[in-house]
Structure 1
Amino acid sequence: MQSRNLSPQSQNKEKFTESNVTIIREFVLLGFSDVPKFHWFLFGLFLVTYIIILLGNGIIILIIRVDSTLHTLMYFFISNFSFVEICYVSVTLPRMLMDLWTQKGIISLFACATQMCFFLVLGATECFLLAVMAYDRYVAICNPLHYPLVMNHKFCVQLVAACWISGIPVNIGITAQIFTLPFCECNQINHFFCDIPPMLKLACGDIFVNEMVVYICAVLFVTLPFMLILASYSRIISTILKLPSNTGRTKAFSTCSSHLLVVVLFYGSATITYLKPQSNQYKGIDKLLSLFYTIMTPMFNPMIYSLRNKDVTEALRRVLPKSLAM
Structure 2
Amino acid sequence: MNESRESKNAEQLEELLLLTEEIQEELEQKDQLIVELKTQLNESLTLNEKLNKENRAGNIQALKNDLKLADRALRNEKEKLRSANVTIGECQDKIRCLTQQRDYARTHQKIVEIPVEKPVLYEKCEACDRTDYQNAKAKYETQKERLAGQYKAKTVMFQTTLFLLAWYSLTTTLFQAVQSDVLLSDCKSFFHDAASFIQTFIGWTIEVGQSVAQISTKIPNPFIAGMVYWILLILIVGICVAGTGILAILIEIKVIELYREKCWDVITLLMILTSAAVIIYFGEAIKKALSVNLLLLFVLLQGAYVGLRCYLESYLEKRNY
Q: Which has the higher strand share?
A: 1
Q: Which has the higher contact order (CA 8 A, sep 6+)?
A: 1
Note whether the superposition's TM-score is higher than 0.5.
no
Bigger Rg over Cα: 2
Structure with the higher fraction of residues in helix conformation: 2
Q: TM-score scaled to structure 2, two decimals?
A: 0.24
TM-score (norm 1): 0.24
